[in-house]
Structure 1
Amino acid sequence: MKKQVLALAISAILLAACGKKEEPVAAPAESAAPAVAATAEAAKPAGPMLDDEKLLNIYNWADYIPEGMLAKFEEETGVKVNYNTFETNEALHAKLVAGNSGYDIVVPSAGFAKKQIDGGLFQAIDKSKLSNYGNLNAGFMSKVASVDPENKHLVPWAWGFTTVGINKQKVEKALGGMPMPENAWDLVFDPKYSSKLKACGITYLDSPSEIMPVVLHYIGKPAYSEDPADFKAAGEMLSKVRPDIRMFSSTMIDDIAGGKACAFIGWSGDINIAADRLKETGGKDEIVPLLPTTGGLVFIDTMAIPTDAKHVNNAHAFIDWYLRGENSASMANEMNYPTANTAGMDAIKPEIRDNKTIFLAQEDLDRLIPPGGYSNEISSTLNDTYNAFKRGK
């Protein structure tokens, strides 16, 4: 999807729930109605300021919005939404850098968005237009501020972590009598295990900004290192498992549910969605995201308004609408991703709220690798290392 990337001491967040143009609202006409009635009318909220053109263009990750959500917003506001999707942060970045994207809301991962903020690709959010902004968990927002100072540009959509997932039955069969490793990352990074899983298939998420941080962390380097020597070491490690990797996926949910791999590096929510889809089609195997002892990589996907957006008021109206507790909760219920929204927690299904691979236990939270970003200076080294690995060079 979706998706890419805050040492998150956010158990409170996990227990907190998780957003065209139309004419501005006209001032009320004078009336001879009783003063009490006039006072009651004045107390009603004025509603969002919309643009004259009833249109909103959104660019989000694939498989990342509940069915019917856009129709509900359109019905309530009269704003027509054009909704398109991307598969990686890199694809979104290329669209933004090219300019004139035509989008009013985009959904970058917070760590990746840092370079987009620094590059002036987003305009500041007008918080005075967001009546539901206070629903966001303050502690969580302080973490987002590490890449977006003062929370000027980014509003959380959802979050999760990049981790190892497996088809339990197929992995157990491929390993034979070998026990599962203590550290789940060994399944996809250590030839001792990957060579055995080769037959049933290992798939990596096809995104340099997702794969390289976890590789660097695995070999004991900073996940967001700026040292070319660290990338050289990462490339050497990856070369040892390259013969065992079946594919690099940009359609992870379909590939997992379709049985194309038994072990995979992917987003936690996507792995859970794939598990649900397999059950819906009568599949008997159990697909699960694992919780490595050294942690998964946190990502926070955020809404931002491009500098050249044409429907800015409509963008704010949608963001504010999404920040209603029940709307953010519906995302968690259907998409298997937690939110940063403190309202609507009671609306989240117990099977979602109690799933420890979605709303993590404190010990698993504490092990998460904080998201971050790479400078433009090291980006070419990162991409070269990843592409050489992918080509098997």
Structure 2
Amino acid sequence: MKKLAFLALMALNAGAAQAQDVLHIYNWNNALSADTAKRFEQYCNCKLVQDYYGDNEEMLAKLAAGAKGYDMVFPTAFAVSTLLKQGRLAPLNKAQLPNWKNLNPGYLKLNDPFDPGNRYAAPTVVSLTLIGYNETQLKKAGVLDKADSWALIFDPAVLAKIKGKVTVLDSQRELMAAALLYLGRDPNTTRPEDWQAAAEVIRKAKPYWAAFNNQSYIKELTVGNVWVAHGYSNDLFQAQQDARSAKRPFTLAYRPQKEGNILAVDNMTVLKDAPRPDLAHKFINFMLDGRNAAGISNQIGATNPVQAAEAFFQPEIRKNPVIMLNPSAGRYVPLKDLDVKSRRELNRLWTALKIGS
């Protein structure tokens, strides 16, 4: 009897331990393929639970509102600064990250201004914010030659030919940055006159847009409901692949703009109140393995900061100039963090832009 009781107790303890082996992450939409997630679960003998966001501001706001239970978040470099100032991140234990050596030093250098000494953040996905477009329809509309410029989403003379077929990101930082680049201004400026100029560009273009859209622009572009989408390079890669797989009667493409683009380095970070920091470190080390990192680029079309990944890239990925971008070869600008006053002012301006006519 005592033996049975002991075995039952052991089974209960084992069940409790197994129930605790869950890693909770708050991640970008379309940032981790289902196959990669499944392989990690097999690797750690644990369960991976994900919630998703479509914008850094959304993630920051949810944490600021008191969201608990997450082990990891995946902030873009400038949002790492915000989280550090708020005291929300735990330093990484490099002793638990033997694959740290696989990171490209160039991307660690890009991260350093936001995370001095690279103590809190491990680069995982690199993307450009640019324009994806229906090449077939733009050619018919006579505006295909504008695809290399932000004029495609901001110039009313161009937009008049594709009215109602354009979506832009529902992101104050990204859309304002694109308007500032279009004007030849610093996308990280906080000067009121620059913001007002960018806001005026947006006001004039807004009547021609179909929507502010973070969530469904991949599908809308894929099925042909929209012809132009302001979005992230990995999302636009997916739209391109989906359209090909569905044998759509048009060609989707995406490219950087001559005025410049925002370069985003998304990072793996561990929250200070993470229930399972041990599993979080396992996840980071897993994603810094060359084969696993390559899975991101091969499946979602993201540029990769892991040097060891390139040996496992598919031929199509190797030939893609956006995925294989050289940060020094174009005008690629990371967004910087905003101080509290500037953030408040931008929120006010953004609200007026969204609800105004």
Q: Same fold (TM over 0.5)?
A: yes
Residue in structure 2 matched with residue 96 of structure 1 by the alignment: 63
Instruction: Work out the number of aligned pairs and report it.
Output: 340
| Contact residue 123 and residue 305 of structure 1 kept, 8 A | yes
The one-letter code sitting in structure 2 at the alignment partner of 1:340 is: P
2:88 counterpart residue number: 121
Are residue 217 (structure 1) and residue 181 (structure 2) matched? yes
Which residue identity is paired with 2:198?
A
Alignment of 1:348 with 2:325, yes or no, is: no
Q: Matches of 1:261 and 1:72 in 2, distance apart?
A: 35
Separation (CA, whole Å) in 2 of partners of 1:392 and 1:183? 29
Q: 1:277 to 1:367 in 2, by over 3 A?
A: same
The answer (yes or no) to whether the contact 1:294–1:368 under 8 Å persists in 2 is: no
Q: Which of 215, 224, 228 lines up with 1:263 in the alignment?
A: 228
Is residue 336 of structure 2 the alignment partner of residue 372 of structure 1?
Answer: yes
Residues 303, 174 of structure 1: alpha-carbon distance in 2 compared, 3 angstrom cutoff: same
Match of 1:6 in 2: none
Q: Aligned ranges for residues 171-190 of structure 1 at < 5 Å? A: 171-175=138-142, 180-181=145-146, 183-190=148-155
Deviations 1:104-159 (A, max 9, x none): 01111112221111111111111111111111111210110111111111111111
Residues 191 and 377 of structure 1, relative CA distance in 2, 3 Å threshold: same
Q: State the one-letter code of the partner of 2:95.
A: S
Q: How many Å apart are 1:361 and its aligned residue?
A: 5.4
Contact 2:303 2:325 survives alignment (8 Å): no
Aligned-partner Cα distance in 2 for 1:280–1:135: 33
8 A Cα contact 1:226 1:375, kept in partner: no
Look up the equivalent residue of 1:312 and give its one-letter code: P
The one-letter code of the counterpart of 1:230 is D
Gaps of 5+ in 2: 1-16
Cα distance per residue 1:274-328 (max 9 Å; x no partner): 0111111120211111221122110111111112111011111111111111000
2:70 aligned with 1:106, yes or no? Answer: no
Instruction: Report the RMSD for the aligned CA atoms in angstroms.
Output: 2.0
Matching residue of 2:156: 191
Structure 1, unpaired ranges of 5+: 1-49
Match of 1:162, SS state, is strand
Per-residue deviation, 1:387: 2.7
Could you say which residue in structure 2 is the equivalent of 1:45?
none
Determine the C-alpha separation between the residues in 2 that align with 1:302 and 1:362: 17
Give the aligned partner of residue 6 of structure 2: none
Which residue of structure 1 lines up, in the alignment, with residue 11 of structure 2? none
The question of whether the paired residues in 1 share the 8 Å contact of 2:133 and 2:147 is answered with no
Structure 1 residues 60 and 345, CA gap change in structure 2 (3 angstroms): same
Determine the C-alpha separation between the residues in 1 that align with 2:18 and 2:77: 27
More helix by share: 2
| Aligned structure 1 segments of 4 or more residues deviating by more than 4 angstroms | none
Cα distance, 1:183 vs. partner? 4.6
Opposite residue 184 of structure 1, the aligned amino acid is: S
Show CA shifts across 1:324-372 (max 9, x none). 1100011110010011001131111011011112212577x32222332
Q: 2:112 aligns with which of 120, 126, 145?
A: 145
Which is further off, 310-319 or 211-220? Answer: 211-220
Whether 1:247 aligns to 2:211 is yes
Task: Tell me the TM-score normalized by structure 2.
Answer: 0.90
| Greater relative contact order structure (CA < 8 Å, 6+ sep) | 1
Provide the rounded CA distance (Å) in 2 between the counterparts of 1:349 and 1:215.
35
Amino acid in structure 2 at the alignment position of 1:214: A
SS state at 1:304 partner:
strand
- Tell whether the 8 Å contact from 1:182 to 1:293 is kept in structure 2 after alignment: no
